[in-house]
Structure 1
Amino acid sequence: MTRPAASPEPAPIVYQNQWRDVFDGTLPDGWEPTKSVSVVIASYNSKTLPLTLASLAAQDYPEDLLEVVVVDDGSEPPVELGEVVPKNIRLIRVEEGWGRSNATDIGIKATSGDIIYWVDSDMILFRDNVRQHAKWAHFIPEAATIGNKGFIEEWDYTPETVYEKVLDGTIGDDYDRSTLHEHWSIQIFRDTDDLNTSHGRNYSTHMGACASVTREVYDRTFGQDTRLHLGEDTEIAYQLWQAGAVFIPVEEALTWHLGRGTVQDHAVKVAWHNDVHFAQRMPIPRYRRKADNRIWEVPLVKVVVEVTPETAYLARNCVDRILNSTLTDVHVVLVGPWSQLHEGRRKMLADPLNELYLVREWLRTDNRVIFAEEVPETVFPAPYRVDLPITVGVTSDSLMQMYRQIDGNRLGAVRYFTPGHTKDDSVTIWDSAAVARAKRYLREGDAIEDLVDRVWGFQWGSNDTAQLIDLREADLSERVTRVDPRVAELEAEVAALRARIAPPPSLARQIAQRLNAASGGRLAPVVRGVNARLGGAPAAAIRRLRRG
């Protein structure tokens, strides 16, 4: 498909995570915000919450665009809102579940702001903090911002003094930021030009203590994972990445963090605990998954295959090849008319759907296979999707090579020239984050690969890399096994070495081989038949003669 000739000028789109190319933070003269902000604070027995609320009361963001929701996560005594609080504030008491993720989820669902801003109950926000976060969403629809934290360990603030100091802009004078603990994310910002070169992979810097995201992006996610009680901010940040977020560290969005960070004192224990939960949910970075041949909650790759009654005879071979890949972190979405299959009486061998019954039976116990009625719009939160026609077969190493090409080159999609198939039926591997962002800008007449190219990059790949075959020309009766390409190379090398060092055949064998070749291969069966009828005596005699 092509764009209409009269299409309007394309909207500015952030390429990968290079936000600076679209908006560098410089506001037009006279700019004022128009987007509403919902601040969500989860609180459990917090002694510093009154200071956080006082700093929010003194913000310079328009009052009619700012709401604050405090979620009491079972505090004893229950949270009570004091006198120094924002104008538009609500208090919600958790009735079921526990933990920051659960409380935050409840708070977000109770709000409707254009921008969601989660703030911990041990933060003091400087006067223009909300404005500094919110301005990015006005220019970058996918903005997910990270504030600047200064960790202080001693203070004598009251809600009244915090309100006064934030209001008059002197709160920042109380401590020298250069002498305070430097959060680990700062070095990442230095190394990636403030995440411009991160491709979004440093999503873990999007910390829940003071981070925002547009509701538009948040609504593409599954929301807070309420099963988590540590590391929940990293998990939702991963989801935001896969939903197309652009991560932006906002140095001007200043705060004081009241007390030491958890990681400062318990980094090893936190990592040991979180990595198990993160491995189940986040395929990237790869180092967390320390075992192959495992089934994870969120796979690295989902392969989407469509089957019909007419093509069902290819399905078992097609899917078996996928599941025998050297890339084992994979699920298959097999799309077909499964609801038409029933358990009633039928003439099985004459049933036109019988091959579909056989496919379902063949794969029903493998929980890597998902039987679906419709082609999924997205494979979120899996980072990669492969669209594979059922008439295409992969080799053991195809998916691994396709993944390495798209991931290693940080591309949004790679489409492969496929034997026996047209351009439209080619195999394509997609980056989910790129597709999620591209879809926002998709208009009638646009091709999705063109938009993906604009936001992440698109290439055509060679079948020398993908190693695809046309299943319609394959021997479907052959056993499907995994062949590690490294093992195959070693076996070929060993065979070549054996051929070089093997002794040449004897003169008698050479004469026999030539006579057999001259007879068109008919002589050898005759000789073997005579030898068999004589009980193998001629062959035994010849072996004795060879041994001398």
Structure 2
Amino acid sequence: MTIVDGGAAGGRTKPESTGRASGGAAVPRPWIRRNDYTALEIPRLGEWEPHLSVSVIVPAHGHQDKLDLVLAALAEQSYPSRLMETVVVDDGSEPPLRLPEARPENTRLIASDEGGWGSAHAVTCGAAAGDGDVVLRLDADMLVYREHVESQLRWHHAADYLAVLGHKLFVPFTPGEPDPESVRAAVAEGRAAELFDAGSAEKHWIERTIDRTEALAAADHRAHTVFIGASGSLHRDLFDEAGGLAGEMVLGGDSEFAYRLAQAGAVFVPDLDSSSWHLGRTQMQTRREAGARYRRPFVATRVPDFRDWRNQGPRQWAVPYVDVVVDVGAASLEDAETTLAPLLAGTVPDIRVRVVGTWSALSEERRSPLDEDLLDLRLIREAFRGDSRVSFAEEEPERDIAVPFRLHLPAGCAPTRRAVERITEVADQHRVGLVRLTDPSVDAFGPRPVRLERTAAFMRARRLGADQGGPEELDAAVDRLYGLHWIGGAGIVGDEDEEPPRDWGTRLRAAERKADAQRARADRLERRLRWLGRGLPRRLVERLTR
């Protein structure tokens, strides 16, 4: 890492603490159901005492005039300067960038590492150079209000697995208007909102998503789609666990990283209490069609959630939609074919099948071909080794955090060709973390039932320590965090054309749908009440809730 320039006194000044939790203070880990963060108690701006340090990472390429305004605004933040450092990453600018006089107290300018370029690569380089407990990415064309950093950091003191999105408005930019000293003075006096005309500013498309999902509290599994670019923050541990931004993603890296954050169990929060000015329009606003055309192949192969981008017929992608685990330890060839053949010919082609068995016990020495003890295991391997989607493992593999779902199937059960499509649709429709089958016929194939697991739900449960008590406790935690949904086997296993019974079964499912709708309505009302009750005395809110 090349250090180009130092802090205000010409050298490097670190934040108060270099630990993951400054002063050893623990960050709470409340249990948040799905993306409903509204139960968190967030202090009012200016009425709390922070302890977490933050690294503000500013990736920059050219446009020294904009960078000067960005740093001038950061110099007057309400967040304590002893807990805040700013790392500007020069991503190959010609001429090289410089640090202006008006800048935060703890500021460094570094050159982006060799071997990559682009904002994603620069952000990852800056995060590696920083020391803060929290990483806050801020683009080099973002003029922030005085409370911008403080407003986001409040959330990170309440929970350590949040991804907080900063608010912004797009305004035309004319170099020199305003100048850095005017910006610094306006921010210091709390007048940043007066620097531009808000009435003529342009809103970002993500605000429509935020508005229709009760500020993301009622968002589904695709809440991550709004966590893109400009301004956002998260705990460093979560940043590292998700793997940082992918340097090879020159464009679209923020979308792909946000997806991996969701897979790691993150909760996405739009912070609306402080704002910022985006100086000029983005590339996706000025060249939308060309930008989308470039991003599509890079994002589609890495983000299975974008199903409409994978509608070009059967093919494989870098990241599959579903990992399927089939244990064939004691299964016959016929049992394995009954289960695996429909899967591989199914309507969801982007799957990866892990076949579990004692493959190392197969010997290549001279043997009786028709009478060896592990004959069926050998035949299974030979029958399916030619399909690149199939791999063979001695035991159940570790969960791949990049894959949205894991489906367990016992060898011998007969999934329909639409089984994967239908069971994942159920999981998304009911927004649950675990789907299980009530079909008693499946029990005949061994103790491991048919079950679909949502990776994000299980990763969040493990982050909260729920995997210490065994599988049943983990399932119970997932039920609490995301929900568990039981379904019958019709359309999943058995006859492809089987219709569900039209007597009591139909009435039962209708009642279940009605109950789900009532629960969803109750959840919405409770969230709305909590939202409206923010700032009211706690006793009054509790009485209203009851």
Please, what TM-score do these two structures have when normalized by structure 2?
0.78
Residue 341 of structure 1 deviates from its aligned partner by 5.2
Residues 28 and 42 from structure 1, CA distance in 2 versus in 1: closer, same or farther, beyond 3 angstroms?
A: closer
Among candidates 420, 431, 438, match of residue 461 of structure 2: 438
SS at match of 1:331: strand
**The one of 67, 81, 87 aligned to 1:63:** 81
d(CA) in 1 for partners of 2:128 and 2:375?
Answer: 47
Letter in 1 for 2:129: A
1:347 equivalent to 2:367? Answer yes
User: How far has the Cα of 1:27 moved from its partner?
Assistant: 4.1
Query: % of aligned pairs identical?
Result: 34
**Corresponding residue for residue 79 of structure 1:** 97
Aligned partner of residue 385 in structure 1, secondary structure: strand
Cα pair 2:436 2:450 within 8 Å, conserved: yes
Structure-1 residue corresponding to 2:474:
448
**What letter matches 1:386 in structure 2?**
L
Q: Distance in 2 between matches of 1:394 and 1:292?
A: 21
Q: Is the 8 A contact 1:348 1:354 kept in 2?
A: no
Partner residue of 1:151? Answer: 170
Partner of 1:493: none
**1:29/1:167 Cα in 2 relative to 1: closer, same or farther (>3 Å)?**
closer
Deviation at 1:139, TM superposition (A): 1.3
Alpha-carbon distance between aligned partners in 2 of 1:375 and 1:192, rounded to the nearest angstrom: 37
CA distance in 2 between counterparts of 1:395 and 1:183 reads: 43
Shift of 1:135: 0.8
For the 8 Å contact 1:305–1:388, the answer to whether it is kept is yes
Matching residue of 2:149: 130
Cα distance in 2, alignment partners of residues 234 and 20 from structure 1: 24
2:101 alignment partner AA: E
2:77–2:188 Cα contact (<8 Å) kept: yes
User: Is the CA contact 1:305–1:333 (under 8 Å) kept in the aligned structure 2?
Assistant: yes
Name which one, 1 or 2, has greater alpha-carbon Rg. Answer: 1
CA distance in 2, matches of 1:335, 1:67: 49
Shift of 1:354: 4.9
Aligned match of 2:68 = 50
SS in 2 for 1:220: helix
Q: CA deviation at 1:134?
A: 1.1
Cα distance in 1 for residues equivalent to 2:292 and 2:497 = 33
Decide which of 147, 159, 173 is 1:140's aligned counterpart.
159
Q: Check whether the contact 2:437–2:449 (CA below 8 A) recurs between aligned residues.
A: yes
Q: How many residues align?
A: 461
For residues 336 and 60 of structure 2, the distance between their equivalents in structure 1, rounded to whole angstroms, comes to: 52
Aligned position for 2:262: 241
Give CA deviations for 1:289-337 in whole Å, capped at 9, x if unaligned.
Answer: 12231111222211122333x3364434432232122232322122334
> Match for 1:329 among 343, 350, 355?
350
Evaluate the alpha carbon distance shift between residue 257 and residue 358 of structure 1 in structure 2; reply closer, same or farther with a 3 A threshold: same
Map 1:58-457 onto structure 2 (within 5 A).
Answer: 58-93=76-111, 94-155=113-174, 156-308=177-329, 310-311=330-331, 313=333, 314-339=335-360, 345-347=365-367, 349=369, 351-417=372-438, 418-419=440-441, 421=443, 425-443=448-466, 444-445=468-469, 447-457=473-483
Q: Residue 386 of structure 1: CA displacement?
A: 0.6
Q: CA 1:55/1:29 → structure 2, altered by over 3 Å: closer, same or farther?
A: closer
Letter in 2 for 1:229: V
Q: Is the 8 A contact 2:348 2:421 kept in 1?
A: yes
TM-score with structure 1 setting the length: 0.78
Structure 2: unaligned runs, 5 residues or longer = 1-27, 500-546
d(CA) in 2 for partners of 1:29 and 1:128? 9
Unaligned runs of 5+ in 1: 1-9, 470-482, 487-548
Q: 1:133, 1:263 → 2: CA distance?
A: 25
Deviation at 1:348, TM superposition (A): 6.2
| Aligned-partner SS, 1:388 | strand
1:451 alignment partner AA: A
The alpha-carbon distance between structure 1 residues 374 and 63, as it changes in their structure 2 partners (threshold 3 A), is: farther
Question: Displacement, 1:353?
Answer: 4.5
Aligned-partner Cα distance in 1 for 2:284–2:200: 19
Q: Report deviation, 1:361.
A: 3.0
Q: CA deviation at 1:74?
A: 1.3
What corresponds to 1:501 in structure 2? none
- The aligned residue for residue 542 of structure 2 is none
